């Protein structure tokens, strides 16, 4: 008794379809067999997972660095305002004394 067969539709560009069809012809097998074998042979590369983890870590580090820069700029701005206020106060005191 044969197993039930079901259809899976795979969308591809015209160029991809031609390349797949040519490869199946060269291997002397139906396109469906080539696609099945390719699907079962595919395994995600462990390096991809490692690279994704490194990319996530780099993004987190960049986010932390950006936040630290924002904090530093805010501190500098507040410091500049304090300095300006002190300079203004000193200038007024000097002017009062006739200086």
User: What pLDDT sits at residue 59?
Assistant: 96
| Residues 47-69, mean pLDDT to the nearest whole number | 93
* Residue whose pair of structure tokens reads 């390719």 in the numeric block: 38
CA distance 22 to 12: 14
* Residue whose pair of structure tokens reads 């304090």 in the numeric block: 82
Domain boundaries defined on the chain: 10-42, 45-99
The pTM for the full model equals 0.46
- CB 35, CB 17: distance < 8 Å: no
CA distance 87 to 95: 12
Per-residue tokens: 54: 């490194």
CA angle 68-74-78, nearest 5°? Answer: 145
Is pLDDT above 90 for 89? yes
User: What pLDDT sits at residue 90?
Assistant: 93
Give the confidence band of 20 by pLDDT, cuts at 50, 70, 90.
very high
């Amino acid at each position: 008794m044969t197993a039930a067969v079901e259809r899976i539709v795979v969308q591809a560009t015209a160029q991809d379809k031609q390349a797949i069809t040519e490869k199946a012809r060269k291997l002397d097998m139906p396109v469906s067999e080539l696609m099945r074998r390719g699907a079962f042979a595919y395994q995600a590369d462990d390096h991809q997972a490692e690279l994704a983890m490194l990319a996530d870590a780099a993004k987190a580090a960049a986010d932390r660095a950006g936040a630290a820069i924002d904090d530093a700029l805010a501190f500098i701005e507040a410091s500049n305002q304090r300095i300006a206020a002190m300079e203004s106060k000193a200038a007024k005191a000097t002017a009062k004394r006739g200086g």
